[in-house]
Structure 1
């Protein structure tokens, strides 16, 4: 049995449902932000190791032209491998209709779209205005609905990039962020999250914006995607949790950043985020020991690339016990989170 075909019995033994969903974005957000290209087989082995640790939603690829992001040239092959892992919801980033067509053809379960609240960042990142990206959301929603007769309809998430500030534009108006989020939901997105693309956010701002988002969108209010650029990643995740957020993006080893946002660096470290929640008694469904072991697959695929994390460096505290997961917070037949 190869590293890309983990023993099903190696999954965490608990069948109880987690209270929060940790959505791993390292294989996409992390890998597209480093200069080196991880070999396809190494990506598959890393994704399998993350899955074996209990992660059940992983963003595995970005469907963009290979000339722009050669690190993602094997996106379809990586998706086809990942969808064979039992119980895994496979996500792919798509910036436009063409990318969505390719991702759906490869079998992705969920599409994520970057819709920037900063016009300057939007033009640099996808060469479209924010409202033009709302039109893309509408077109992709129509595409997935048109294909729904051939199987389960893929999910569609809009991530509002630079929601807390932008290195190109500076301040981003909070009212504009909420208007854009509502427009994406009205255009067909199942959920709309907020992203601190450049690490400008602070906990008070995070709590305020997510409270407003949840007030406007209810169950369609989605994930918190925080960066640790200025050391506030975990504090911002905690503020989002206190505002009612239950889905959190994170990247193993803290890999990630936006290549089109100067000064953007590292995502929240998955290992540290899982430890924080488990130590608080908030179950993640992730086996920390296996998650720490998965770093070896990352290192093997990107030799010499710096990876980060306080928990991996310090180790687990003596006597540490993970949280007990409440059985009512996830529908185990579909993998969908319920309100908790």
Structure 2
């Protein structure tokens, strides 16, 4: 099997943002470098949020300044609003991922915006990208919908509800749309059904999937997504992190666990499993705990020759 699955590494952002220990900017830069050495080509490196709300993501500009442009590598900044987008542009991010929500409840808690207001905000961001001047000016743009498989405030989320928002995002010309299981309540069967429901609404936009392993379904859900035809997945080295704005939203799917499963099945990812495990153990040491990923404990499988 020669199909390639692109894994977007989110450990430096979604991984670190929910950890009790706040790493220095220098450690965060080193973490990105270790992940790139392990094969990561797209990394969500920073988040442009207020440091009082998420102190783990303070000094985003300092981190980006420590990551000079590198051909073939893309450093992504997360933005929750227009101010965050402007900061990401000023910091020279290669990509900006705009965080949105599939429900009013989560949107109002997370950003102070309803779903309709978030779509309006995204439209303003798209307009700003069009106003940037110069050849290739400005970062690439994507949007990620949180709580696609369930919301801690509004409960169940329907296929039609997600498809309607995806249609609005695609109509704005956003090239990549992420679907996130923020609180880890999805299951493989619902994942497959939801992808089928939104595929037509997404039009030409690429779908990206973001799973949490909160309830031990992360790798299974990623499998269902790949089987449904999605080629881009988010993952966090070590399985660290989660969402500070959602109760008990811990445990991103671990990059090394996902890479192991994909490699065993014959898929290509471009990642070095041993280097990923080393990076997971390194960041675990910085955080003062063993990373939750299975591969960081068990190691890779080495058949006897």
Same fold (TM > 0.5): yes
Equivalent-residue separation in structure 2 for 1:21 and 1:83 (angstroms): 22
**Equivalent residue number for residue 262 of structure 2:** 277
**Residue 85 to residue 291, structure 1, CA distance change in 2 (3 Å):** farther
Shift of 1:148: 4.3
- Poorly superposed stretches of 4+, deviation over 4 Å: none
Shift of 1:297: 3.2
CA contact 1:137–1:188 (8 Å) conserved in 2:
no
User: Which of 238-247 and 208-217 deviates more?
Assistant: 208-217
Equivalent residues in 2 for 1:3-42, closer than 5 Å: 19-42=4-27
Shift of 1:18: 7.2
Equivalent residues in 2 for 1:297-308, closer than 5 Å: 297-302=282-287, 304-308=288-292
Shift of 1:152: 4.0
Equivalent residues in 2 for 1:134-213, closer than 5 Å: 134-149=119-134, 151-213=136-198
Matched, 1:267 2:283: no
**Equivalent residue number for residue 303 of structure 2:** 319
Which runs of no fewer than 5 residues in structure 1 stay unpaired? Answer: 1-16, 322-340
Question: 37, 50, 54: which is aligned to 1:65?
Answer: 50
Matched, 1:251 2:236: yes
**Equivalent residue number for residue 92 of structure 2:** 107
**Residue 289 to residue 249, structure 1, CA distance change in 2 (3 Å):** same
**Residue 255 to residue 320, structure 1, CA distance change in 2 (3 Å):** farther
The two structures, once aligned, show a CA RMSD in angstroms of 1.8
Question: 79, 103, 108: which is aligned to 1:123?
Answer: 108
Equivalent-residue separation in structure 1 for 2:68 and 2:112 (angstroms): 30
What's the TM-score once normalised by structure 1's chain length? 0.85
Question: 20, 30, 43: which is aligned to 1:45?
Answer: 30
User: Which of 178-187 and 139-148 deviates more?
Assistant: 139-148
Which runs of no fewer than 5 residues in structure 2 stay unpaired? Answer: none
**Residue 70 to residue 126, structure 1, CA distance change in 2 (3 Å):** same
Shift of 1:153: 3.9
Alpha-carbon displacement from aligned partner over 1:270-320 (angstroms, at most 9, x marks no partner) = 000011111100000001111112124313432x13411112211111239
**Equivalent residue number for residue 77 of structure 1:** 62
Matched, 1:309 2:259: no
**Equivalent residue number for residue 338 of structure 1:** none
Alpha-carbon displacement from aligned partner over 1:79-100 (angstroms, at most 9, x marks no partner) = 2223434421111110011110
CA contact 1:117–1:160 (8 Å) conserved in 2:
yes
Alpha-carbon displacement from aligned partner over 1:139-188 (angstroms, at most 9, x marks no partner) = 11111221142534421111111111112111112201110011112123
CA contact 2:97–2:143 (8 Å) conserved in 1:
yes
Equivalent pairs, count: 304
User: Which of 182-191 and 134-143 deviates more?
Assistant: 182-191
CA contact 1:213–1:221 (8 Å) conserved in 2:
no
Alpha-carbon displacement from aligned partner over 1:97-122 (angstroms, at most 9, x marks no partner) = 11101101111111111211121111
Question: 223, 243, 267: which is aligned to 1:238?
Answer: 223
SS of equivalent to 1:82: coil
